[in-house]
Amino acid sequence: MKTRSYRFELRLDSSPEELWPLVSDTNRFNRDAGVPAVEALGVGDNANRRLRLSRFGVGVEWEEQPFEWVSPHRFSVERRYIRGPIARMRTTATLEPQDGGTKLVYDVDAEPRGPLGPAAVAFQIGVLSRRRFASVFRTYDRSLATPAVKLPTPKPNLSPGAGERIEAARGALLGAGFSPDDVERLCAMVSTGDELEVGTLRPYALADSWGRDRREILELCLHATRQGLLELRWELLCPLCRNAAATVTSLDGLGGPLHCKTCRIDLTADVSRSVEVVFRPAPTIRPVADVDFCVAGPQVTPHVVAQQLLEAGERRTIELQLGRGRYRLRTLALDGATSVEVAADGPNAAAVEIGSGAWSGREVRLGDRTALTLENATSAEQLVVLERTAWADTSTTAAEVTVLQAYRDLFAAEALRVGEPISVGTLTVVFTDLRGSTQYYREVGDAPAFGSVLGHIDLLREAVAEEGGSVVKSMGDAIMAVFPRPLAAVQAMQRAQEATAGRPLALKVGIHTGPCIAVSQNGVLDYFGSTVNLAARLVSLSHGDDLVVSDAVLDDPEVAALGAQADQVDAGVLKGFEGEALSVWRLHA
């Protein structure tokens, strides 16, 4: 039948950049517009999906092509229905700047099927959808201009006794010394927050929205988990689409290979980047249903600034508005990618040919506003993706969480599956020892000496925790600690040495930074590898009034900015590193 076209136009006060995160969040928009939840049946080539929903007890099934978009101005999607009064439908939303606001144009092209098709299309799209969509768009616009205008939020479904449990957790968190404002915000989010938001709470994003310190909010969430207010979850993210390939509630669930159905790649856990820590209300407080109203759309992969589906031989030009930095241009089906740099002096036009072989390897330079021409020179349809290479700044990686002393204190038994080592990327490892402790035991006696040693260990734990690190283990009068950054380790150990100055026992310190491997050791998380081994060797070179560090620590920009005096150490041949040229330094405050 003849395709029927409908166009809705709205004049909104907010800019396209302000509206884009809401308008292009098709999962939330469909929910707010009254669209039923969908069920994913499968993923095909180029992320084509088979989906189904039920309306008034009648099942509707369709094949959905991948969304196409250019942020923050346009997105579209085409659906081909298996049965029912509509054979095909394509929707397109365009956000055009206009007089300081936005002209939003919503186009729907629908092809009816059967004798009831034309009437069904006219009523569903021309009447119901027009009214509901316009109402939702205007609500989004008003919420951006007026904080008092709240976005649509279904009434939360709290568990029996949730109110009492929330009050108990509130009291415990306040008793632990957390900010009353932060505790109140978190309790309110858990009890009244939108279902789509509380299902995945990112502590760094919460901290940014509240204007609070990130580590404080992360530790608040960890304590709230221990108090039964929240549930901690580990999400293994696909390195390409960055969606969760698996979600588990315990670290030991991360072992073994997993598969991303969309990108069709196997992946393993890398807690420095691909394992993200998120929270949600505990089931005893508020059960959160994992319901989708749309399984794709621009906000499912917000790091992707443009996505286009090109037919074989097709040539298309898209107008881009980009932030400066590094990007990657790739396709879903072909191996490899092209690096893209966006700079102030970049050209305002460029062309890229997508061939059947490997990408050319040359870097493409673009300006902030540019026209990019894409040509599909292959014999098959290609889904082309332009994405930021930097991972989300609001993501909290498992590596960051597991080095926190608060995490180890609260979740001592949480460990990886035995025999399943995983990479944690770069960490800074510290080993300490007490100079002259053996003689000190002989001079003052075991009991007094042991008390002094315990005092040293307590002092070290406090210094390590203040800088965001954690004590992995203590070995008599020595400890091993890890930190996310070299500067944090240096400052913690300098503070500890200052606190022990003048005491009978001096604190020897060795520090190295590099890649580590996490494993389960005696039921707790431990770290191994050459980085750990070298840090353990360096501590023997310390005199007790210095930090012996590797050149990797000294060369760190933050450490170099301290301006501390550094003298090179003749380390000789370190056990396990024979034949390696090592630069070792003695760092003085």
How is the chain split into domains, by residue range? 4-145, 162-281, 304-388, 414-588
Say whether pLDDT at 437 is over 70: no
Give the mean pLDDT of the chain: 88
CA-wise closest residue to 62 among 551, 350, 44: 44
CA-wise closest residue to 403 among 244, 513, 544: 513
Q: Are 164 and 286 in contact (CB under 8 A)?
A: no
Instruction: Give the per-residue pLDDT at 509.
Output: 95
Instruction: Give the per-residue pLDDT at 383.
Output: 95
* Range with the largest mean pLDDT of 11-25, 400-414, 463-477: 11-25
Say whether pLDDT at 431 is over 90: yes
Query: What CATH number should be reported for the domain whose range is 414-588?
Result: 3.30.70.1230
Using CA of residue 186, residue 191, residue 194, residue 197, what is the dihedral sign?
A: positive
- Give the integer Cα–Cα distance in Å for 500 and 506: 7
* Range with the largest mean pLDDT of 56-60, 80-84, 368-372, 574-578: 368-372
- Cβ atoms within 10 A of the Cβ of 118, count? 16
By mean pLDDT, which of 176-185, 202-211, 306-315, 329-338 is the weakest? 329-338
Mean per-residue pLDDT, 295-322: 95
Mean per-residue pLDDT, 366-379: 94
Q: Are 232 and 173 in contact (CB under 8 A)?
A: no
- Which residues are paired to 386 by β-bridges? 306, 329
> In this predicted model, which residue has the larger pLDDT, 177 or 453?
177
Say whether pLDDT at 446 is over 70: no
By mean pLDDT, which of 293-297, 360-364, 430-434, 537-541 is the weakest? 360-364
In this prediction, residue 306 has a pLDDT band, given cuts at 50, 70 and 90, of: very high
- Which residues are paired to 389 by β-bridges? none
Q: What is the pLDDT of residues 74-100, one digit of tens each?
A: 999 999 999 888 999 999 999 999 999
Say whether pLDDT at 419 is over 60: no
* % helix, strand, coil for the chain, step of 5: 30, 35, 35
Say whether pLDDT at 477 is over 80: yes
In this prediction, residue 439 has a pLDDT band, given cuts at 50, 70 and 90, of: low
Q: What is the pLDDT of residues 16-28, one digit of tens each?
A: 999 999 999 999 9
Say whether pLDDT at 497 is over 70: yes
- Give the integer Cα–Cα distance in Å for 148 and 185: 17
Instruction: State whether CATH 3.30.70.1280 applies to domain 4-145.
Output: no
> In this predicted model, which residue has the larger pLDDT, 321 or 335?
321
Q: How many residues does the chain have?
A: 589
Say whether pLDDT at 30 is over 90: yes
What's this model's pTM, rounded to 2 decimal places? Answer: 0.80
> In this predicted model, which residue has the larger pLDDT, 526 or 268?
526
Instruction: Give the per-residue pLDDT at 440.
Output: 63
The reply to whether domains 4-145 and 414-588 share a CATH topology is: no
In this prediction, residue 379 has a pLDDT band, given cuts at 50, 70 and 90, of: very high
Question: Strands 506-521 and 547-550: what pairing?
Answer: parallel
Helix (H, G, I), strand (E, B) or coil at 69: strand
Instruction: Give the per-residue pLDDT at 416.
Output: 60
> In this predicted model, which residue has the larger pLDDT, 116 or 12?
12
Lookup: tokens for 119: 């009437």
- Cβ atoms within 10 A of the Cβ of 319, count? 12
> In this predicted model, which residue has the larger pLDDT, 536 or 84?
536
Lookup: tokens for 520: 């389960």
Q: Are 529 and 421 in contact (CB under 8 A)?
A: no
In this prediction, residue 414 has a pLDDT band, given cuts at 50, 70 and 90, of: low
> In this predicted model, which residue has the larger pLDDT, 246 or 10?
10
- Give the integer Cα–Cα distance in Å for 238 and 257: 12
Contacts of 117 (CB under 8 A, 6+ apart): 1, 85, 86, 87
283: preceding bond cis by omega (within 30 degrees): no
> In this predicted model, which residue has the larger pLDDT, 482 or 236?
482
Instruction: Give the per-residue pLDDT at 486.
Output: 92
By mean pLDDT, which of 75-79, 310-314, 402-406, 579-583 is the weakest? 579-583
Q: What is the pLDDT of residues 238-287, one digit of tens each?
A: 877 888 877 877 766 666 667 787 887 777 666 666 788 999 999 999 99
Helix (H, G, I), strand (E, B) or coil at 172: helix
Mean per-residue pLDDT, 416-433: 76
- Could you write out the DSSP letters of every residue in 9-62? EEEESS-HHHHHHHHT-HHHHHHHTTPPPEEEEEE-GGG-EEEEEEETTEEEEE
> In this predicted model, which residue has the larger pLDDT, 64 or 528?
64
